Structure 1
């Protein structure tokens, strides 16, 4: 049985848990039954040292399995109405396994065309699986070191999640600002159109007032010319009158002079 999604983490062979996923009972899981000791009337002999060591090793192996299952939970999937469970492997890793893990990581990075730089979900997923596999290998040899690596992994994921949330919020903020800018742009364009219309109206009023001013100046010039002409004619008339009066006066003076001589 092959699991649906292959991972860089090493798992045991899948185990059939239940043939009917709707009615899962605890009895459907495989039970580990400890061997019963024979009942006898005599005293129970103390187990030899080898049995104590074996029991200690079994207990340590059980604790390691529990820690591994808490760090890397078993995978479950359904196929043809059957529930399959696959637990993480508790087999210690050798140096060859680490080399194979590195080669498999490089192969999958190239196979899935992961980007070498920048943000790449594929590269992040594969390196996360590789880190989980390293945690598994370290936990088998030293559970405390594995739990410490688990803390490091969780902290890295929390930091990445925080950065992702910050990025999403910044994108949302940028979108809001862009929408506000678009709305402000529309308002500004409408205001510009209104101001341009006002400008055209004012220019039309200015042209009308200029035309009125030109008409008024033209009328004033014509009226001034008429008045100047009239004033010139009056001056000429007064000059002629004055000249006639001077001639008449001189004539009278001559007459008086002639009468006085006589």
Structure 2
């Protein structure tokens, strides 16, 4: 397992733990090294096998022993554990009280890490969130050493914030999935509507073609009927003229026949 990377939480020097008959046995503190200020190396707070039950806090009238403080710190920030070269290492959070200079250095380290890891200044940024989580954990460590009750209260605040963020993240992921489903449905509906529009446009074109054909057919029928009616009117007029002429002739003949009889 690779040694954890540097973080803003202050830890003690790593302890080499030997394995004897399946049991872990701690050995002396060995070469974890320190920084230029003589402080233990800062390392990431790795997940440590799930939440542990916090030790009971004594009454305010009773003095807090270093062991109680270390137990509470280990419960808030579990020790790191890793294997390296077949050796098992354990590193606990530091129980050394923080000075004003430590807080100033923490702020400078936070700014340096934000710039080094190119964290975004605005919007959602996992890198910026991780660094501020480490900073808050370090502040909880510093406060817990001087006042365990205040540290435990800050722990509740931290856990509540993390739970709220996890809920918001779940809600965001659900909303994104819902939006994607709706987008796909809309895209599918758009495709169906485009197909329907093409079908209706084709149907419209066919109907318009039918209208044109029917208009041409109607005009042809009207023209044919008009010609037929004109022909019949002309034929009827000729018949009338023939009948009138015949009538005049018959009338003349009748008058010619009736005239001798009168004499």
What TM-score do you get using the length of structure 1 for normalisation?
Answer: 0.80
Q: Pick from 147, 155, 162 the counterpart of residue 157 of structure 1.
A: 162
How is 1:84-233 mapped onto 2 (pairs within 5 angstroms)? 84-233=89-238
- Aligned partner of residue 83 in structure 1, secondary structure: strand
Contact 2:17 2:24 in 1 (8 A): no
Mapped partners of 2:200, 2:135: distance in 1: 65
Structure 2 partner of 1:9? 9
Alignment deviations for residues 14-46 of structure 1 (CA, whole Å, 9 cap, x no partner)? 11124x7xx883343349xxxxxxxxxxxxxxx
Identify if the C-alpha distance between structure 1 residues 27 and 162 changes in structure 2 by more than 3 Å, giving closer, same or farther: closer
- How much has 1:156 moved relative to structure 2? 0.4
Aligned length: 229
- How much has 1:249 moved relative to structure 2? 4.4
- How much has 1:99 moved relative to structure 2? 0.6
Mapped partners of 1:177, 1:24: distance in 2: 60
Contact 1:91 1:140 in 2 (8 A): yes
- How much has 1:115 moved relative to structure 2? 1.2
Q: Which of the two has higher C-alpha Rg?
A: 1
- Aligned partner of residue 4 in structure 2, secondary structure: coil
Which of structures 1 and 2 has the larger relative contact order (alpha carbons within 8 angstroms, sep 6+)? 1
Mapped partners of 2:213, 2:72: distance in 1: 94
Contact 1:3 1:14 in 2 (8 A): no
4+ runs deviating over 6 angstroms: none
Alignment gaps of 5+ in structure 2: 29-61
- How much has 1:213 moved relative to structure 2? 1.6
Alignment gaps of 5+ in structure 1: 32-55
Considering only aligned residues, what root-mean-square deviation do their CA atoms show, in Å? Answer: 2.3
- How much has 1:134 moved relative to structure 2? 0.2
Identify if the C-alpha distance between structure 1 residues 97 and 3 changes in structure 2 by more than 3 Å, giving closer, same or farther: farther
Q: Which has the higher helix share?
A: 1
